[in-house]
Structure 1
Amino acid sequence: MGPFDWLPRAPLESVQLDWLNGVELAVLRLDRIDPLISGNKWFKLTEHLALAQQAGASGIISLGGAYSNHLHALAAAGKRFGFPTVGLLRGHPQDTPTVLDLKAFGMQLHWLGYGGYRARHAADFWTPWRERYPGFYPVPEGGGGMAGALGCAVLVEQARQQLSDVGWADYDAWWLAAGTGTTLAGLALAEACARPVYGALAVPDDHGVAQNVQALVTGGYALLDASRGGFAKVDPLLLEFIETTEQACGVPLEPLYTGKALLALKQQIEAGRFAPGTRLIFVHTGGLQGRRGLAV
């Protein structure tokens, strides 16, 4: 497999919104790195792919749902860089726009049902799949773990190199959506407590994000609830906020991660958490391909 030396740079862009109340906001546009291998998913994959290459793997096998941004990026990377991919999917067969892409990219799909997918953390889960696909390297759901976090750590330096593009000499903190906490952990590792990293939780507390992050980094971050009742829960206020924000600044959002995270930031600014003059970097984690299955 490999080589995987592609490391695109996400542009840093200043954003003006009337609710910022003097807070300065710049968006690290991971959604703009590539039309198909988009968002934070590629950065979460880079170290996993390096480990697979070192192990002499012949392909990659991973897990996700029928709208998975992770599987979408993995399958697109497999097609582009010429390595086979296998996706283990939650639920029962359905042809969502994402699934149709996975098939077009050449990913071999297996549907686990819901009970079978819940067993993914069992100690012997990978045994039959290793036997069926010998030589394939298993990547955790969402590209998580320390390898995924280390892949995301490079984003800190990417942003720092572009501060002058938005007229900044420095910045005060990070803000991003947290689905597994892997990207947040990577930023916190790179910052080493120099600046706080705020994670707006796109999932409820029982999804284990806090535990995931605690296993990777000891401090320098905070998690705030932004799930609005649960993962993939979409409400009229959120949809209205996304529509008005896109019209105001031209940055496309989706309702599962980036929309919820930016709305949570608005609410925190209105509550007085950040004083005027604070400079925040908002990480746009991508995920726009998933909008195709939602009424947005």
Structure 2
Amino acid sequence: MLLPPANWLPQAPLELLQLDWLTNAGIEVAILRLDQIDPLISGNKWFKLTEHLKAADRAGAQGIISLGGAHSNHLHALAAAGKRLGFETVGLLRGHPQQTPTVEDLQAFGMQLHWLGYGGYRARHEPGFWEPWQAQFPNLHAVPEGGGGLAGALGCKALKEQVITQLNNLGWSDFHGWWLACGTGTTLAGLVLAEAGAHPVYGALAVPEDHGVAPQVEAIVQESGLAVADYAVFDASRGGFAKVDPVLLEFIESTERSSGVPLEPLYTGKALLALKQQVEAGRFEHGTRLIFVHTGGLQGRRGFSSCS
């Protein structure tokens, strides 16, 4: 049985984000602290896994096989869930064998690792990619990179309820939109499905636009049959995935000092900096209230010594 326990989706705190550049613009932001829901399986990864685990359980699978890089938050959460819930995990990794803090954790959690090289990893979207792996591991359920696809998005719909139940604690009766980092676009797609046009969802791309996040979101929305979708994406990659520069690092340091909220440079740091740029550009009117989703991933900070 791969089904999670009853407390699989603990409540994430929703709290006001106090920063000068928001106050000066008359913008209020509440941050959904998914980083605080679990010490290992934190962030949006809990939510993206739920429907995949249910599908694996229905198929009678004994575990999960999935993909990611040497700092992958998805594989880290998956391996931790496998260890905690007692199911087998296999990771197909981008590039060549290397030791990172994340990889060390994957091994400690019992995940079997296979390195695909870079060309082999690029082939993950090609027809027939999964066939040899499913032949080698017939008892495992294949999950897309990052826990993506419609199943991952459906699991993320629960984030809206996490926010709605806490609005009164902030003195809010409603809000005007969501802002979050996007790696595969799965969490954004889940919020788009949950909102069905009621509130816009803004995604800050942590990867370059040519990674195809927008088409992936559109494919999920179309597959779901949703009639009304209100979302937009903004380039926040700062030159490429995992590209880190002094401006970003300084912003993260000052923000953490001012707010007490820990960030990391691949997703949440880039997303919040992109929001600051849009606020200063006048995109949002005075009085706008936004929900910023802290998607977790703090374990990935260990790969950046200046952020640890």
Question: Who is 2:162 aligned against?
Answer: 158
- Tell me if the contact between 2:19 and 2:258 (Cα under 8 Å) persists in the aligned partners: yes
Q: Give the RMSD, CA atoms, in angstroms.
A: 0.9
Instruction: Spell out, residue by residue over 1:227-257, the C-alpha distance to the aligned partner (whole angstroms, 9 max, x if none).
Output: 1111111111100000000000000001111
- Tell me if the contact between 2:26 and 2:286 (Cα under 8 Å) persists in the aligned partners: yes
Structure 1 consecutive aligned stretches of length 4 or more whose deviation exceeds 2 Å: none
Shift of 1:107: 0.4
Is 1:250 the counterpart of 2:260? The answer is yes
The TM-score with structure 2 as length reference comes to: 0.95
The TM-score with structure 1 as length reference comes to: 0.98
Question: Who is 1:260 aligned against?
Answer: 270
Equivalents in 1 of 2:96, 2:35: separation in Å? 29
Shift of 1:50: 0.4
The percent of aligned pairs where both chains have the same amino acid is 75
Instruction: Spell out, residue by residue over 1:16-66, the C-alpha distance to the aligned partner (whole angstroms, 9 max, x if none).
Output: 100012101100011111000011011011000000000100111000000
Shift of 1:166: 1.7
Shift of 1:2: 2.6
Question: Who is 1:235 aligned against?
Answer: 245
Is 1:194 the counterpart of 2:204? The answer is no
Structure 1 counterpart of 2:31, one-letter code: V
Question: Who is 1:12 aligned against?
Answer: 14
Is 1:287 the counterpart of 2:272? The answer is no
Number of corresponding residues: 296
Structure 1 counterpart of 2:254, one-letter code: T
Task: Say which SS state the counterpart of residue 286 (structure 1) adopts.
Answer: coil
Could you list the runs of 5+ residues in structure 2 that have no partner in the other structure? 222-227
Question: Who is 2:69 aligned against?
Answer: 65
Structure 2 counterpart of 1:30, one-letter code: L
Q: Which moved more, 1:44-53 or 1:114-123?
A: 114-123
Shift of 1:83: 0.3
Question: Who is 1:129 aligned against?
Answer: 133
Question: Who is 1:210 aligned against?
Answer: 214
Equivalents in 2 of 1:15, 1:282: separation in Å? 9
Task: Say which SS state the counterpart of residue 232 (structure 2) adopts.
Answer: strand
Structure 1 counterpart of 2:2, one-letter code: G
Structure 2 counterpart of 1:248, one-letter code: S
Task: Say which SS state the counterpart of residue 215 (structure 1) adopts.
Answer: helix
Question: Who is 1:167 aligned against?
Answer: 171
Structure 1 counterpart of 2:230, one-letter code: G
Equivalent in 15, 21, 27 of residue 23 of structure 1: 27
Question: Who is 1:219 aligned against?
Answer: 229
Equivalents in 2 of 1:246, 1:270: separation in Å? 20
